[in-house]
Amino acid sequence: MTTEAKSAYGTTLKKGEVAIAELTNIGGPRLSADTIDVTSHDSADGYREFVSGLKDGGEVSIEGNFIPGNAGQAALVTDLDDGSADEYTITLPAVMATTWTFKAIVTAFECSEPYDNKASFTATLKICGKAELGVTASAGLTTPFFVISESAVVTPDEAGDVYLYVATVLTGVTSVTVTPTATAGVIKVNGNIVATGEASSPITLGDAGSNTEITITVKETTKTIKTYTVWVARAAA
């Protein structure tokens, strides 16, 4: 028998649309279900009987290289302080087309700075509610896929199965909007919901000569997220 095992290399964890950088291990979710003892004098053959009780999404433990300037790692500390339950997504490599999406609160964050090794960190996320397993990809963007304002020149040509683009704009352009199209699912541009065929809020670009990252995601219920990345290159002065 030929194994169907796949490498987990390339798995990512995001808080909303913000990636938590340089993770070396992502553990979980650890799903479990309580049992309720319903044994009675009428139970057959002297064996205890049980029914399923409440379920628990468990915890997600993560380890990684400590990068103080990373927005995703910094957000873990912020969330631990304020106790908020936010949305997280674990995305396995594309060959597996699988995601876990869940809401969680951060219950632990610890740094380690040994004198003879790298600075690292560990954190624990406690899942609140149900962790959704997505094993089928969302349909993603559909014709005409997306339009960048300000006469941006996009390469390569937009397509539903192409996920990385460069859009070039003139020096004087300081912001752009994105108009995405999808026939199914929730569309987000940089984490903000945008209706199909409608323009996003203006996205501020960096200085002349810089590149600004824009992410477009499409997520159908119980399906994996499709993510499109557009680097907007503002011409140098």
Output the domain CATH number for residue 56: 2.30.110.20
As a whole number of angstroms, the distance between CA 38 and CA 49 comes to: 5
Structural domain for 192, as ranges = 146-234
- Global pTM reads 0.63
Closest CA to 167 of 189, 143, 150, 187: 150
Looking at the structure, do residues 68 and 33 belong to the same domain, yes or no?
Answer: yes
Answer yes or no: is pLDDT of 1 > 70. Answer: no
Residue 83, sorted as left (phi over 0), alpha (psi -120 to 50) or beta, turns out to be: left
The count of structural domains within the chain is 2
H/E stretch holding 63 = strand 59-65
Choose one of 81, 100, 134: the last residue of a domain: 134
The DSSP annotation for 64-112 comes to: EE--TT-HHHHHHHHHHHHT--EEEEEE--TTT--EEEEEEEEEEEEEE
State the pLDDT at residue 102.
95
State the pLDDT at residue 24.
97
Dump pLDDT digits (tens) for 94-141.
666 788 999 999 999 999 999 999 999 999 999 999 998 887 788 999
Looking at the structure, do residues 22 and 112 belong to the same domain, yes or no?
Answer: yes
Looking at the structure, do residues 122 and 160 belong to the same domain, yes or no?
Answer: no
Looking at the structure, do residues 21 and 113 belong to the same domain, yes or no?
Answer: yes
Q: Is 206 inside a domain boundary?
A: yes
Task: Give per-residue burial for 101-117: e unless 16+ CB within 10 Å, then b.
Answer: bbbbbbeebeeeeeeee
